[in-house]
Structure 1
Amino acid sequence: MNDTQTTRRQGLLAGKVAFVSGAGRGIGAAAARLFAREGARVLLAARTEAQLKAVTEEIRAAGGTADHTVCDLADAASVQAAVDRAVEVYGRLDLAFNNGGVIQHPGPLDELPEADFDRITAVNLKGVWLAMSAEVKAMRATASGGAIVNNSSIGSLRANPVLPVYGALKRAVNSLTESAAVTYGPEGIRVNAVAPGGTVTDMVRAWEADTPGVIDRMKAQTPLGRTADPDEIAEAAAWLLSDRASYVTGTVLRVDGGARA
């Protein structure tokens, strides 16, 4: 049996340790469940312990291996402690999905309060930088290489007048992703991003509540004629993290139903 056949039988991420931020709900929770089904041991991180505990228990009940830790992505010590926890529990770190983030209140950039700008930037950009820095150090210390996937957005790939700061910060994440791929490629650490299109998460439902009709507009702008399920974004992240994507790095992969085609 060749290596690819063995991986398929054992699971896409068999034998790996994965760190997932924003894992209490939405895409992060879907990713944590999927990664565990695909054979990874998963450390879930987010701000809300009750959500983390529920997803962790669900994974364990299904036969997977998971643990969790509370993490505030805007706090450097908290992020470092969360990544350290993965190594403490499982002895190594191979994979990371930096998914956690917050959305801005929809509207023109001049109407966003400065305090909101600072909060969104601290989580959506600084938090990703903090996580990547800690993850690279952990991978260097405990594994021979690794893979990181950052969660971006197709809103980073075009003008985004409704969510201008959110889109700008996700575009910055794309740049961090590409720069890190070049920097750490020689060490065997691959770095990619997924750019989801309209995906029905709690964040998008909140946006819909603020401005009704958003989800219908997403569907209308998507050639496949529908929004994505969080599981579909998780599948793309899992592939990028897996050895089947071994020659893919520095890529921002659109998972958008053709919306940017």
Structure 2
Amino acid sequence: MLLENRTAIVYGGGGAVGGAVARAFAREGAQIFLAGRTRARLDAVAGGIRAAGGTAETATVDVLDEVATARHADTVVERTGRIDVTFNGFGADNGEQGVPLLELSADAYCRPVTEYVRAQFVTAAATAPHLTRQGSGTILALSNPMAGQPTALTGAFGQAGAAVESLARQLAAELGPHGVRVACLRPTGMPDTVDQGSHTREVWSRAAARLGTSLERLLAEVGSGSPLGRQLTAADVAEAAAFLASDRAGGLTGTVVNVSGGAVAD
């Protein structure tokens, strides 16, 4: 197993992508600590992991809160003695799509940029001291396709993703000498997330209404463009994350891994 005897924190673990990553990590042998804002969703993911023979615990944590996030990381280390992997799948209904960028207010424009970068920074700041102290570990962030392929009417999510990717690269440069790897995954749209507790249903539903189309048609467009001829799924991203978190990806740091199924060209 890729992550046997590893301790992993999955932030946003009750969401579609975070939940899929947690399940993949657990299947590969990791002890899972799920953190997020909605206890019921976290408990549902944890219950599925336990039913499959894995180990998972949950905690209600707001990753925009520095103190609470640091306290949770300290608690995990007190319980297990270490943190080996973190994955931040933070997502929030905090931005607008289907609206021309310059028709947004400054506050509406800045909110997703501020919150996504803050979430990644706060979790890295809470966990990196433990990783550097032990001289090993992997921090994984999640970006979005617009960070690499600007697309009209997608709001400020592209800028948010680009900032997250830049943060991951700089953290890799600063933490690498301490044995810590940092990388970012950049998927494309995953239509299956709308039925898995993700905020994307609300965001894409509003966008569809503004664009005068149905949610189903918008999802078909969101999931198109892959040379593979199929839509990307949360499970696809989770499998890539499990590999990236493992020793088999030991030479990868300071990079953005394109898991868009080829929909976003490098």
TM-score by length of 2: 0.88
Q: Is the 8 A contact 1:20 1:96 kept in 2?
A: yes
Match of 1:34 in 2: 24
Give how far 1:174 is off: 0.6
Alignment pair present for 1:204 and 2:203? no
CA distance in 2, matches of 1:247, 1:220: 31
Give the one of 100, 124, 142 matched to 2:90.
100
Match of 1:19 in 2: 9
Give the unaligned 5+ runs of structure 1.
1-10
Match of 1:191 in 2: 182
Give the one of 148, 157, 162 matched to 1:171.
162
Corresponding residue pairs, total: 250
Match of 1:112 in 2: 104
Could you give the per-residue CA deviations for residues 31-72 of structure 1, whole angstroms, max 9, x where no partner exists? 111111110011101100111111112211211111111111
CA distance in 1, matches of 2:101, 2:69: 29
SS at match of 2:223: helix
Match of 2:211 in 1: none
Match of 2:264 in 1: 260
SS at match of 2:23: helix
Q: Is the 8 A contact 1:197 1:227 kept in 2?
A: no
Q: Is the 8 A contact 2:141 2:184 kept in 1?
A: yes
Which amino acid in the other structure matches residue 220 of structure 1?
S
**Map 1:205-244 → 2, pairs under 5 A:** 205-210=201-206, 211=208, 212=214, 213-244=217-248
Alignment pair present for 1:66 and 2:56? yes
SS at match of 1:132: helix
TM-score by length of 1: 0.90
CA distance in 2, matches of 1:220, 1:158: 14
Match of 2:120 in 1: 128
Q: Percent identity?
A: 36
Range moving further from structure 2, 208-217 or 164-173? 208-217
Give the unaligned 5+ runs of structure 2.
209-213
SS at match of 1:66: strand
Q: Is the 8 A contact 2:143 2:162 kept in 1?
A: yes
Which amino acid in the other structure matches residue 171 of structure 1?
A
